[in-house]
Amino acid sequence: MQRFIISLICCLLPAFTLAATPEIRDSAPDSHIVVKGDTLWDISAKFFKDPWKWPQIWGMNKDTIKDPHWIYPGDVIILDRAAGTLRIGGGEKAGSPSTASSGNVVKLSPRLRAQDSEHNAIPSIPFKDIAPFLSNVRVIEKNELAGAPALVGTNEQRVLMGMGDIAYARGMSEVKGSQWQIYRPGKELLDPDSKEVLGYEATYLGEAEVEKFADLSTIKITKSVQEINKGDRLIPASGEIASNYVPHTPEGKLSARVISIYGGVSQAGQNAIITLNKGSRDGMENGHVLALYRKGEKVKENGKDLSLPDMRYGLLFVFRTFDKAAYALVMQTRLPVELLDSALTP
């Protein structure tokens, strides 16, 4: 019944008009059976050259349906070539009764039915590539960690701490719960154009659980991904962050620059995580798809310098947005992504 209602809503929603109709691939199949491991982006790319033109491809209004928990393994995706859209079609879904007919008699063979849930729905993009960044990586203001609770040490007066150690922290608040994350200030994020400090990339160190609240609270370090030191700061553990977004292009012209590549490297390939110098204050949203551009090279012609046009070479998917910066996943690229490359509205 839930699937029927959602499908009905999709049919009744007004089409979201874009300037250009998504182009169907020459090799596009008539249908596709969804399997575990598929993503909505991958499925769209099987049929269309522009998988980011999401509302048209699925015949839905992106402002109405923000979280697409509605496609599951076993669903049959059908290409409507006339309308240039995809839809969930008929076909036998795993767990449904099988049928057999003989003359006018239809025989039903009972089979185990599996009820769909949001946990079984296929994601927009590969969740494994962005999962650590949904709750662990943060862009913070300059003094944001300065007032956060701090580790003051252990009974053994050891300098370094790790998983399983008992430690003490000052400034813990019981109203914020017993689960905390441990950070220290990281590198500065600088806007390459305005030179504004956009924030600092907080370095995630691990997790801690409060065993007793007091002026000096007793905590147990439950996870450690780096060495933890006296003076490191604690932030309440993040709640569940949405991990499934409808990809869509910005409604207006959006221009950003690549200011950091995760891992401290100067180049990145497909599925890498990069940081952009634009955030929610600039109109950046989770789910935005941006095109990657490399500045055109300078060449000599008749003794004069000539600038070649900027070259488009890939696509980014924005999945976590802060006030002044955002994280994005490199979805497609035919060149290494480099620092200071541009990310623009496709």
Is-above-0.85 flag for pTM? no
Domains in the chain, CATH or no CATH each = 2-91 (no CATH), 135-236 (no CATH), 255-344 (2.40.10.410)
pLDDT of residue 212: 94
pLDDT of residue 125: 77
Q: CA 215 to CA 145: how far, in whole Å?
A: 19
Strand partners, 274: 261, 328
pLDDT in tens, the chain (346 residues): 434 333 433 433 333 334 467 899 999 999 999 998 888 888 888 999 888 887 778 776 545 445 455 688 898 999 999 888 888 875 444 433 333 334 444 343 443 334 455 567 777 777 777 877 776 778 888 788 888 999 998 887 777 899 999 999 999 989 999 999 999 988 899 999 999 999 998 888 999 999 999 999 999 999 998 899 999 999 998 765 555 567 888 988 999 999 999 877 889 898 899 999 999 999 999 989 999 999 878 787 777 878 788 899 999 999 999 999 999 999 989 999 999 999 999 8
CB atoms within 10 A of CB 14: 8
CB atoms within 10 A of CB 124: 22
SS (H, E, C) the chain: CHHHHHHHHHHHCCCCCCCCCCCECCCCCCEEECCCCCCHHHHHHHHECCCCCHHHHHCCCCCCCCCCCCCCCCCEEEEECCCCEEEECCCCCCCCCEEEEECCEEEEECCCCCCCCCCCCCCCCCHHHHHHHHHCCEEECCCCCCCCCEEEECCCCCCEECCCCEEEEECCCHHHCCEEEEEECCCEEECCCCCCEEEEEEEEEEEEEEEECCCEEEEEEEEECCCEECCCEEEECCCCCCCCCCCECCCCCCEEEEEEECCCCCEECCCCEEEECCCHHHCCCCCEEEEEEECCCEEEECCEEEECCCEEEEEEEEEEECCCCEEEEEEEECCCEECCCEEECC
pLDDT of residue 20: 64
